[in-house]
């Protein structure tokens, strides 16, 4: 049976062009030792990413998690307090790295569709008093995964960044899916990050590269980040074999994210008609469906979908997440909607 994988856009396989780009880089003698700064493909990727993001410099890192951690460690001191959204990846899904590895103290707050409102930030900043940890950074996630691929507009980013600056705080953007936001609003990716100090983007999610993330910011930030990457064992040698697909990802894979958004909308349009389901309107490629009224949990729903060759994670309580991605076509999306209708019929009959 064909499998339709909606667990995450991280399951996207590299394109043929990405694999060929690795071979071409090798044949053209462009690979080198990146710890010595001598891999030409890595250098090209970093320059290109910095330009696209409107930042002074950029650095290739192994993963989104590593990029976020390096960004935090490079701009804070041990013992500092970091304001994070309660459902954010940095807070919830990165193994507690900021505290266990960085000595940082996360202060989770509730966002509105993933957005930490400026008043919320203001209300949790600790006084400049010896009793308190220093609140030195706020982290945003754009798009916000758990809020359903929700977009934080450039205006909202600026409002939060302005507030952070009033308190001498840094602001970091976990932009694992930043290009989804850019494509959905048809504005340059740089407009979402011009007001933040640092940003992390994933090459390996919807953009389909096999490995890698980029962090970007000022020269000073990247200088410090370089040291922290090395400390974490993230200095790689002929990393051009990662950068070559990364370049294809940035050059060729951004516009097509629109197809994933269109499929998310198609799935939404079909599922919104099923009264037993409560479906959250997708901004981008992530669709959450609430199963409360259907009376089954996400694990049972996931197993019924699996019987029909459809993979989703079953770990969201009574919410099920569908992540549309390059490996899922329009006709697959239709099959998923048909299958869900069948499952609902069999549960309710
Ligand atoms: C919003 C968000 N940030 C960061 C990450 C971490 O990326 P990685 O899996 O490359 O460490 C993910 C991964 O799914 C994510 O969804």
**Among protein residues, the one whose CA lies closest to atom 4 of ligand 1:** 64
Q: Which two tokens stand for residue 156?
A: 């909202």
Q: Which atom of ligand 1 is nearest to the CA of 145?
A: 1
Mean pLDDT along residues 331-336: 98
Of residues 64, 135, 131, 129, the one with CA closest to residue 106: 135
Q: 35 phi and psi, to 5 degrees?
A: -65, -30
Query: Is pLDDT of 122 > 90?
Result: yes
Distance 89 CA to ligand 1 centre (A): 7
Q: Pairing relation of β-strands 170-175 and 198-202? A: parallel
Look at residue 83 in the predicted model and tell me its pLDDT.
98
For the ranges 67-71, 142-146, 153-157, 315-319, the lowest mean pLDDT is seen at: 315-319
Cα(82)–Cα(217) distance, rounded to whole angstroms? 19
Mean pLDDT along residues 197-209: 98
CATH topology of domain 16-252: 3.40.640
Cα(67)–Cα(298) distance, rounded to whole angstroms? 31
Tell how many helices (H) and how many strands (E) occur in the chain. Answer: 14, 12
Mean pLDDT along residues 196-215: 98
Distance 146 CA to ligand 1 centre (A): 12
Cα(348)–Cα(342) distance, rounded to whole angstroms? 10
Give the chain's mean pLDDT. Answer: 97
Look at residue 211 in the predicted model and tell me its pLDDT.
98
Of residues 106, 74, 189, the one with CA closest to residue 142: 189
Considering the chain, tell me which residue range(s) the CATH 3.40.640.10 domain(s) occupy.
16-252
Q: Which two tokens stand for residue 7?
A: 């667990």
Q: Mind listing the pLDDT tens digit for each residue in 213-272?
A: 999 999 999 999 999 999 999 999 999 999 999 999 999 999 999 999 999 999 999 999
Q: What is the pTM of this model?
A: 0.97
Q: Which atom of ligand 1 is nearest to the CA of 204?
A: 10
Q: Mind listing the pLDDT tens digit for each residue in 261-317?
A: 999 999 999 999 999 999 999 999 999 999 999 989 999 999 999 999 999 997 777
DSSP 112: B
Binding pocket residue ranges, ligand 1, CB within 6 Å: 10, 63-65, 89, 141, 145, 174, 176, 202, 204, 213
Q: Which atom of ligand 1 is nearest to the CA of 143?
A: 1
Highest CATH level, class, for 256-348: alpha beta
Considering the chain, tell me which residue range(s) the CATH 3.90.1150.10 domain(s) occupy.
256-348
Exposure letters 92-115 (e unless 16+ CB within 10 A, then b): bebeebbeeebebbbbbbebeebb
Contacts of residue 233, defined as CB under 8 A and 6 or more positions apart, other chains included, come to: none
Percent with pLDDT over 90 in the chain: 97
Cα(328)–Cα(206) distance, rounded to whole angstroms? 11
Q: Mind listing the pLDDT tens digit for each residue in 64-121?
A: 999 999 999 999 999 999 999 999 999 999 999 999 999 999 999 999 999 999 999 9
Percent with pLDDT over 70 in the chain: 100
Cβ–Cβ < 8 Å for 85, 140: yes
Look at residue 314 in the predicted model and tell me its pLDDT.
76
Mean pLDDT along residues 120-135: 97
Look at residue 318 in the predicted model and tell me its pLDDT.
85
**Distance in Å from the first CA to the final CA of the chain:** 26
């Amino acid at each position: 049976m064909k499998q339709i994988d909606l667990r995450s856009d991280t399951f996207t396989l590299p394109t043929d062009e990405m694999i060929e780009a690795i071979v071409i880089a090798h044949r053209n003698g462009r690979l080198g030792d990146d710890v010595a700064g001598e891999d030409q493909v890595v250098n090209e990727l970093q320059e290109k990413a910095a330009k696209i993001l409107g930042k002074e410099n950029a650095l290739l890192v192994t993963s989104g998690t590593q990029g976020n951690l390096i960004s935090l460690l490079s701009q804070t001191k041990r013992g500092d307090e970091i304001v994070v959204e309660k459902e954010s990846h940095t807070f919830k899904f990165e193994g507690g790295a900021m505290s266990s590895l960085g000595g940082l103290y996360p202060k989770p707050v509730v966002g509105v569709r993933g957005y930490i409102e400026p008043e919320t930030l203001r209300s949790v900043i600790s006084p400049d008093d010896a009793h308190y940890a220093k609140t030195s950074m706020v982290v945003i996630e754009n798009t916000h995964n758990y809020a359903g691929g929700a977009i934080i507009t450039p205006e909202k980013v600026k409002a939060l960044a302005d507030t952070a600056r009033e308190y001498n705080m840094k602001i970091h953007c976990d932009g694992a899916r930043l290009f989804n936001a850019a494509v959905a609003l048809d504005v340059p990716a740089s407009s979402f990050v011009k007001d933040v100090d640092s940003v992390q983007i994933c090459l390996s999610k919807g953009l389909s590269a096999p490995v890698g993330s980029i962090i970007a910011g000022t020269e000073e930030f990247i200088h410090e980040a370089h040291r922290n990457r090395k400390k974490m064992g993230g200095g790689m040698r002929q990393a051009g074999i990662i950068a070559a697909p990364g370049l294809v990802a940035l050059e060729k894979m951004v516009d097509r994210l629109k197809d994933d958004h269109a499929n998310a909308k198609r799935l939404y349009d079909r599922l919104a008609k099923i009264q037993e389901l409560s479906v959250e309107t997708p901004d981008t490629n992530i669709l959450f469906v609430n199963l409360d009224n259907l009376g089954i949990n996400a694990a049972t729903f996931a197993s019924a979908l699996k019987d029909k060759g459809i993979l989703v994670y079953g770990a969201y309580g009574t919410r099920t997440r569908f992540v549309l991605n390059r490996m899922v076509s329009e006709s697959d999306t239709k099959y998923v909607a048909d299958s869900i209708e069948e499952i609902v019929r069999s549960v309710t009959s």
